[in-house]
Amino acid sequence: MKVLNFYYNLLEEPHILIAGATGSGKSVMLNGLVFTAACCGSAKCQFIFLDKKRVELCQYKNLRSCITYADDDQQMIEALQQAVDIIETRYVEMQSRGQKKYTGPALYVVVDELADLMTIPVVKKQAVPLIQRISQIGRAANVHLWVCTQNPLREIIPTSIKCNLECRIGLRTASQQDSRNIIGVAGCERFPNPRTENRANAYIRRGADLDLVNIPMYSDEEMENGLSQLAKRIVIAPVKPLVPHETESMLKLIFSPLLWLFGLK
């Protein structure tokens, strides 16, 4: 199964913001990340998906590595709380072991559209502190936040959350201001329309570094084949060593028919 290095390298980022206008390539970008993480070993990572549209991430909800798939307001709040609880549990484990970084499986909290959580006041009031908490303390617990939005406004991406999303990916935007809200400078508004050019460009902001990249994509066939292979993966339970009395019973079970056949029993 081919894995694109572009996405594989991004898995090392603590948290990621992906933003751009409708049709800018956000779904391509997000699917590339999720698919790569899942294919690199579903036993080594876990996912919590927040998918209000119910169609963007639904193909992943049956993966063994998906521990929660949420598609309504209450479920999404509960999923965020679950992520916070997991972080707190991991910190307790780290403390008991004298560790500063969690060495178990990575957990990716994937939000398809942040605006779904920020446009309803009651939901926003609950979501903001949870997302903020995940972005603040998730890194050491190996919990990572991937957030997408087509509305990169201050009301949608509060500063308290944005400042902890260290890797920001700006795709084609509708205006210079939207570009500045994502990566701090203008430029994303000048990208060609992916629907007409058949390619997507992006700026990736990591601290003071700003890189221009072409967004690669997996073909539909690669995605279908990969997900099919992931669905077939099974975990084989470890073989329990036999204790002495079980060994004796097993030998009797094997040799009794032979003893009977030869008239020795």
Which pLDDT does position 221 carry in this prediction? Answer: 85
pLDDT of residue 43: 63
Domain ranges of the chain: 5-237
For residues 168 and 147, what is the distance between their CA atoms, to the nearest angstrom? 10
How far apart (Å, rounded) are the C-alpha atoms in residues 210 and 129?
29
**Cα–Cα dist 189/211, whole Å:** 15
pLDDT for res 255 = 42
Rounded distance, CA 16 to CA 169, Å? 7
For 5-237, the fitting CATH number among 3.30.70.260, 3.30.230.20, 3.40.50.300, 3.90.870.20 is: 3.40.50.300
pLDDT at res. 223: 84
What pLDDT sits at residue 254? 42
Question: Which pLDDT score, from 0 to 100, does residue 198 have?
Answer: 72
How far does CA 135 lie from the centroid of its chain? 14
Q: What is the model's pLDDT at position 243?
A: 38
In order of 8, 66, 137, 226, the CA distances from 32 in angstroms are 9, 16, 25, 12
What are the per-10-residue average pLDDT scores of the chain (265 residues)? 79 95 91 89 82 91 92 96 97 96 95 94 95 96 96 91 95 96 96 83 94 88 82 45 39 43 48
Q: Say how many Å lie between the first and final Cα of the chain, rounded.
A: 56
The pLDDT, as a whole number, for residue 260 is 45
pLDDT, one tens digit per residue, over 181-211 is: 999 999 999 999 887 777 789 999 999 999 9
What value does the CA radius of gyration of the chain take, rounded to a whole number of Å?
24
